[in-house]
Amino acid sequence: MNQPDFVVKCYNKQELAQMYFPDISVRASVDKLRRWMRRCQPLMDEILATDFHPKTKAFSVREVRLIAYYLGKPGEF
């Protein structure tokens, strides 16, 4: 099955997490994405230098770009 090209744009956290982990529940996918992000120190350093706040419901374009750069685009692994 062909994946459409990943588009860097604003995504709510659930939507982006499900793109990375489509085979698990929404809650589990959000938790897993959060763990992956926390374990990638260069990503966290850069993302925390922005106006990132962990309680927001969505990722900005800049945050999505950083996540895709450090963790890879959804479907690449």
Query: Could you report the per-residue pLDDT of 6-29, keeping only the tens digit for each?
Result: 899 999 999 999 999 999 999 999
Residue 1 located in a structural domain: no
The pTM score is 0.89
Residue 24 located in a structural domain: yes
Residue 33 located in a structural domain: yes
pLDDT reading at 52 higher than 90: no
Total Cβ atoms within 10 A of residue 16: 22
Residue 18 located in a structural domain: yes
Comparing 9 with 1, which gets the higher pLDDT?
Answer: 9
Residue 58 located in a structural domain: yes
Residue 35 located in a structural domain: yes
Domain of residue 25: give its range: 11-71
Residue 3 located in a structural domain: no
The whole-number pLDDT of residue 5 equals 81
The whole-number pLDDT of residue 4 equals 63
pLDDT digits (tens, 9 = 90+) for 54-76: 888 999 999 999 999 999 999 87
Residue 2 located in a structural domain: no
Total count of domains within the chain: 1
Which amino acid does the sequence have at 66?
L
CA quadruple 49, 51, 55, 57: dihedral sign? negative
